[in-house]
Amino acid sequence: MSQLIKFGLVLATVTLTATLVLAVTYEVTKPKIDEQFRLEEQNALEVVLPGADSFAEDAIDGIEYFEALKGGRLIGYCIRVSGTGYNGYIRMLVGTDTRGIIKGVKILEHHETPGLGSKINEIKPGEKEPWFLAQFKGKVAKTLMVKKDIDAITGATISSKAITYAIRDTVNEFLIKVKR
């Protein structure tokens, strides 16, 4: 019985040590990770709504967004959008003008299958932006539909639909709330 207690104490010590190391590592790296996400989002703002010279962060009924300003005049919105794809959530930033016409989309984070759903960010040779996301430019968010407005990625229909419908639903909800 003493052998069993000895092994239990060794296992408890190893587990406690590993937990402590993970907790310390998390606390040390979290500010750096948060800062990296913030910088990535700041860079994405200029991509999804080119022409704006400043952005003012705000939220309305749980939807986080940035007002895009040019010379102090409102020219559109950059809206934080999340959807659930095949392998988990997809975080993105969507730029629209004040009428809901999409100016740009940037994926900030995703967990889609490499080689399939990850093609949402694939840039074809000779192009400067992901071909899938480029389809959204100039489209009215209110009526977005896969197959009608957006061509799905072969083998990744779930990811394609997740992005399209998350953008459509969030932007529509946002525009209704912001125009009250």
pLDDT by residue (tens digit) across 133-178?
999 999 999 889 998 899 888 888 899 999 999 999 999 999 999 8
Backbone angles phi, psi at 38, to 5 degrees: -65, -45
Residue 145 lies in a domain: yes
Residue 115: per-residue pLDDT: 82
Q: Is residue 39 part of a domain?
A: no
With respect to residue 105, please indicate whether it lies within any of the assigned structural domains: yes
Q: What is the CA radius of gyration of the chain?
A: 21
Query: How many residues make up the chain in this entry?
Result: 180
Q: Are 164 and 129 in contact (CB under 8 A)?
A: no
**Domain-embedded: residue 119:** yes
Reduced to 3 states, what is the DSSP secondary structure of residue 141? helix
Would you state the pLDDT for residue 1?
66
Structure tokens at 4: 């069993």
Structurally, the chain folds into a number of domains equal to: 1
Q: What is the mean pLDDT of residues 107-127?
A: 87
Q: Which residues contact 23 (CB under 8 A, 6 or more apart)?
A: none
State yes or no: pLDDT of 101 exceeds 70. Answer: yes
Contact 87, 113 (CB under 8 A): yes
Whether the predicted pLDDT of 180 surpasses 70: no
Q: Does some domain include residue 51?
A: yes
The structure's pTM equals: 0.81
Structure confidence by residue, pLDDT tens digits, 41-98:
999 999 999 989 999 999 999 999 999 999 999 999 999 999 999 888 999 999 999 9
Domain boundaries, position 77:
44-178
Does 124 have pLDDT greater than 70? yes
Region of 119 (left: φ > 0; alpha: ψ -120 to 50; beta: rest) is: alpha
Residue 2: pLDDT band with limits 50, 70, 90: confident
Distances (CA, A) of 127 to 64, 121, 148: 30, 12, 23
Average pLDDT for 22-37 = 92
Q: Is the pLDDT of residue 120 over 70?
A: yes
Asked if residue 35 belongs to a domain, the reply is no
8 found inside a domain: no
Contacts of 29 (CB under 8 A, 6+ apart): none
In a domain, 93, yes or no: yes
For the segment 94-104, the average pLDDT, to the nearest whole number, is: 94
